[in-house]
Amino acid sequence: MSKRLSGKRILITGAAQGIGLAIAKAVVREDASVFLIDRDDVLLREEAEKLKGGEYHVGYIRADITDAKAILAVVEQACTEIGPLNALINNAGANVFSEPLETTDEEWNRCFDINLKGAWNCSKAVLPRLLEQDGGVILNIASTHAFTIIPHTFPYPLAKHALLGMTKSLGLEYAAKNIRVNALAPGYVATQKAIDYWNSFPDPAAAKAETMRLHPGGRIATPEEIAMAAVFMISDECPFMNATCLTIDGGLSVQQHPA
């Protein structure tokens, strides 16, 4: 542990598994205090207690980021348990993939409620705290869907494009207040979501192989690789990085055609 995040008190959403959990593990190793939220109460408690067992300063509670009033209470509790927040990682999200004309109102609302409104609810609740602390960091976990389009994934890319827009807007709005707002755009990551996606095909092994083939390096990212990028972006090592997005996809989004 290098203690790169000493003094950081971070709220992390969607922290019970996948990228969110990997980020939680990475930031506490770097001496941050964390408050974790997720909708999966059982898994959240299990993973958070493991972190607490490592003598890290960890708080947690089940919460739904789409409930703005509940998030205000969560932020209040987080500040009580781990101290005044000076960082937020908006990681919670949900894949909502469909054809445009087949997308139901329910799918549309769910996509934007979780992937955009939820991030705004958390940002809106935390921003006053950051202003009180004379600065801080918000990191939005976006996606390469924020600037590239994969057919048949509507309306997910719309929400991620909007999340990137919110990142830039808030970054500029509060730059003079010493608040940095950035985004991290992972491509394919070896999470349970990826496994579930492959398993949705008649031949999961072939689907996985096709995903790997798309990438210049022949593999996809691990959650831990995304987490270490998040550590850097939350840290004081990049004080002039603001209103921008760091892409981690192994070069996938810059190639015209797979080899």
Q: What is the DSSP letter of 248?
A: E
Taking the mean position of all CA atoms in its chain, how far away is CA 17? 11
Report d(CA 159, CA 11) in Å as an integer: 22
Report d(CA 217, CA 206) in Å as an integer: 18
Name the residue among 237, 240, 14 with its Cα closest to residue 122.
14
Report d(CA 37, CA 16) in Å as an integer: 8
Verify whether residue 188 is a known catalytic residue.
no
Residue 123 amino acid letter? S
Report d(CA 40, CA 27) in Å as an integer: 21
Could you check whether the bond before residue 128 is cis, i.e. omega within 30 degrees of 0?
no
Among 56, 60, 156, 188, which one carries the catalytic annotation? 156
Catalogue the active-site residues. Answer: 156
